[in-house]
């Protein structure tokens, strides 16, 4: 029997593909984070603010819209766009990871903050996601670099470097669900 189409406009697998792109493409991540923080915005506003070529920005916004991660807020030109906060939870054997706007915001800083870039090279995006959880506690004052180092199996210096690098993201996204 044919299933009636879902009433939801969400396309989970399409969304997953775009989230994977967000994690791999810092400029796309910066655009998404900008729309979350400042939306509704027009594409030309993002071009002015983010130093992304105009054609690329239109392409990125179209991809995000197709995936349901941003939506038009007005139907006349220039279109305004607002973003939906993602919370994509992935489960593999024994490990669960939720991809949140704060993780995307951390990835978005990769181009401008080489400390984050090196950390991702060394420990991957899973390592970054865990470090971000510690950065929140570091900002709250409940964890210092020595505790983080011991629990993340890093040297104290490397722990301090990444906790400070992630501090602005942890401050901005204090709520752990985002």
Partner 1 sequence: MTTVYVADTGVFVRCGGPDNDKFQRLRRPVRQAGVTLRIPKRVYEELGGDPATDAYPSGTVPYQTGSRKA
Given the complex with partner 1, which of 44 and 155 has the nearer CB atom?
155
User: Would you call 144 helix, strand, or coil by DSSP?
Assistant: coil
Given the complex with partner 1, which of 127 and 156 has the nearer CB atom?
156
SS (H, E, C) the chain: CCCCCCCCCCCHHHHHHHHHHHHHCHHHHHHHHHHHHHCCECHHHHHHHHCCCHHHHHHHHHHHHHCCCEEECCCCCCCCEEECCCCEEEEECCEEEEECHHHHHHHHCCCCCHHHHHHHHHHHHHHHHHHHHHHHHHHHCCCCHHHHHHHHCCCHHHHHHHHHHHHHHHHHCCCCCC
Tell me the window of 32-40, 59-67, 151-159, 170-178 that interacts with partner 1 (CB under 8 A): 151-159
Among 119, 123, 136, 148, binds partner 1 (CB under 8 A): 119
- State yes or no: residue 155 binds partner 1 (CB under 8 A): yes
Q: How far is the CB of 124 from partner 1 (least distance, A)?
A: 15
Among 11, 50, 88, 118, binds partner 1 (CB under 8 A): 118
Binding-site size for partner 1 (CB under 8 A) equals 15
Q: How far is the CB of 113 from partner 1 (least distance, A)?
A: 9
Given the complex with partner 1, which of 47 and 118 has the nearer CB atom?
118
The answer to whether the CB of 15 falls within 8 A of the CB of 65 is: no
- State yes or no: residue 158 binds partner 1 (CB under 8 A): yes
- State yes or no: residue 72 binds partner 1 (CB under 8 A): no
Positions in the binding site for partner 1 (CB under 8 A): 114-115, 118-119, 121-122, 145, 155-158, 160-161, 164-165
């Amino acid at each position: 029997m044919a299933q009636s189409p879902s009433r939801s406009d969400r396309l989970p697998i399409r969304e997953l593909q775009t989230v994977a792109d967000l994690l791999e493409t810092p400029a796309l991540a910066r655009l998404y984070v900008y729309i979350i923080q400042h939306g509704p915005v027009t594409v030309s506003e993002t071009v002015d603010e983010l130093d992304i070529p105009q054609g690329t920005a239109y392409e990125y916004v179209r991809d995000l819209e197709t995936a349901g991660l941003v939506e038009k807020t007005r139907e006349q030109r220039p279109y305004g766009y607002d973003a939906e906060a993602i919370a994509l939870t992935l489960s593999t054997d024994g490990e669960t990871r939720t991809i949140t706007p704060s993780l995307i915001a951390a990835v978005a800083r990769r181009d401008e903050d080489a400390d984050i870039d090196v950390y991702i090279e060394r420990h991957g995006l899973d390592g970054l996601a865990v470090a971000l959880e510690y950065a929140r506690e570091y900002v709250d004052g409940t964890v210092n670099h020595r505790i983080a180092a011991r629990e993340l199996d890093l040297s104290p210096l490397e722990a301090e470097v990444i906790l400070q690098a992630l501090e602005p993201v942890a401050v901005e996204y204090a709520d752990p669900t985002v």
